[in-house]
C-alpha cells in the first residue's frame, strides 16, 4: 500500500512538473509575441475585405483614401477609410507579384518583386497610360518596397533579401527621368552590424533585416522602413542615419507589408491576413531610444 501511494505521489509530482514547465513555456511564448506593445499606440484599426487579404502595399491619395495593391492581381484597390470599404478597383496589368506602390502627382508607380516597375500615368482618369521599366534589380533582390521622396526627387526602394554585399541593405533612388537605379551606389545604407540591430543579428548577416516597405515622412523627411518577417520598424533621419528601431508586437502586426503617411504625417501600417483578417492600423509611436 505504501509503495502504491509512493507511485501515485511520484506520478502526481511528474504531472505537476510537466504542467509548470508547459505553463512557463506558454507564458514565455505569449510574452514574445506581445513584445513591443509599449512602443506605440494603435489609434484606430480597419479590418479589410477578403480582396485585400494579401495586401502588400498602400499609398495615401488624399481625402481619407488609400490606393492599395495585393500580391497577385494587377489592380489598384481604392480604399475609403471613412466608409471602411473598397470604393473602386482599377486594373493596370495581369497576374504578377506586386509589392510596392508610390504616388507622384498624377502618376502611380508599382514595383514587382523582380524589380520591374509599372508606371501608370494619369492613374485616376480614363486616359491612363501604363508602361513598364526595368530598374536594374533582379529576383534575388526580392523588391517589396517603394516610396516617393521629395527630398531626393526620386522613388526610393530597398532589397528585401540580397544586396550587392551582405553587410548592408541599401536604399536606392530611382529617378523618374530614367526609371532606372544605380544598383551599385545606394543613396543611404542600413548597416547590418549597426548597434541598434545587435539583438536582431542573424548568423546570415543579410537576414538581420528584411525590409517589406519604405515610406518618407512628409514633414521631417525621415525615412521609415518596416519588416514583416520579424516585425520591426526602423527610422532613419533625412541624411540616412539610423535613429531608432521599434519592435512591433506579433499580435497586432502579424505580417506588416504596407506603410504610408497622410499629408499631416499620420502613420498607417497594413498587415496581410495571417490566421485572421488583413488590417490597417493608424499608429502613434512613442519616443524611444535605439
**Residues 143-199 pLDDT 10s:** 999 999 999 999 999 999 999 999 999 999 999 999 999 999 999 999 999 999 999
Average pLDDT on 263-289 reads: 92
Spatial distance between the Cα atoms of 27 and 22, rounded to a whole number of angstroms: 9
Coil vs helix vs strand at 72: coil
A 10 A CB-CB count for 147 gives 29
Distance CA 287, CA 289 (A): 7
Predicted local confidence at residue 275, as pLDDT: 82
Mean pLDDT of 67-77: 97
Task: Give pTM, 2 decimals.
Answer: 0.88
**Residue whose C-alpha cell reads 502504491 in the numeric block:** 4
**Cβ(31)–Cβ(254) below 8 Å:** no
- Region 275-285 average pLDDT: 96
Q: Who has greater pLDDT, 32 or 84?
A: 84
Q: Where does the pLDDT of residue 42 fall: very low under 50, low under 70, confident under 90, or very high at 90 and above? A: very high
Reported as a single tens digit per residue, the pLDDT across 98-137 is 999 999 999 999 999 999 999 999 999 999 999 999 999 9
Amino acid at each position: 500500500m505504501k509503495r502504491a501511494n509512493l507511485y501515485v505521489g511520484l506520478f502526481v509530482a511528474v504531472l505537476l512538473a510537466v504542467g509548470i514547465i508547459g505553463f512557463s513555456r506558454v507564458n514565455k511564448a505569449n510574452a514574445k509575441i506581445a513584445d513591443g506593445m509599449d512602443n506605440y499606440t494603435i489609434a484606430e484599426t480597419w479590418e479589410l475585405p477578403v480582396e485585400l487579404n494579401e495586401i502588400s502595399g498602400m499609398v495615401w491619395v488624399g481625402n481619407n483614401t488609400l490606393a492599395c495593391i495585393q500580391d497577385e492581381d494587377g489592380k489598384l484597390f481604392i480604399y475609403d477609410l471613412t466608409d471602411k470599404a473598397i470604393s473602386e478597383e482599377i486594373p493596370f496589368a495581369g497576374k504578377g507579384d506586386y509589392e510596392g506602390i508610390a504616388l507622384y502627382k498624377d502618376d502611380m508607380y508599382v514595383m514587382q518583386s523582380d524589380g520591374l516597375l509599372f508606371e501608370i500615368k494619369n492613374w485616376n482618369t480614363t486616359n491612363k497610360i501604363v508602361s513598364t521599366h526595368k530598374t536594374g534589380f533582379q529576383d534575388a533582390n526580392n523588391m517589396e518596397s517603394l516610396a516617393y521622396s521629395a527630398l531626393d526627387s526620386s522613388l526610393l526602394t530597398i532589397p528585401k533579401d540580397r544586396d550587392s554585399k551582405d553587410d548592408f541593405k541599401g536604399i536606392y533612388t530611382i529617378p523618374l527621368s530614367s526609371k532606372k537605379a544605380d544598383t551599385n551606389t545606394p543613396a543611404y545604407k542600413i548597416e547590418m552590424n549597426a548597434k541598434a540591430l545587435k539583438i536582431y543579428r542573424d548568423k546570415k548577416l543579410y537576414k538581420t533585416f528584411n525590409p517589406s516597405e519604405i515610406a518618407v515622412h512628409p514633414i521631417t523627411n525621415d525615412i521609415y522602413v518596416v519588416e514583416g518577417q520579424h516585425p520591426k520598424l526602423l527610422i532613419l533621419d533625412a541624411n540616412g542615419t539610423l535613429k531608432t528601431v521599434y519592435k512591433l508586437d506579433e499580435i497586432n502586426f502579424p505580417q506588416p507589408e504596407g506603410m504610408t503617411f497622410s499629408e499631416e504625417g499620420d502613420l498607417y501600417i497594413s498587415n496581410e491576413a495571417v490566421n485572421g483578417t488583413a488590417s490597417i492600423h493608424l499608429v502613434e509611436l512613442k519616443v524611444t531610444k535605439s
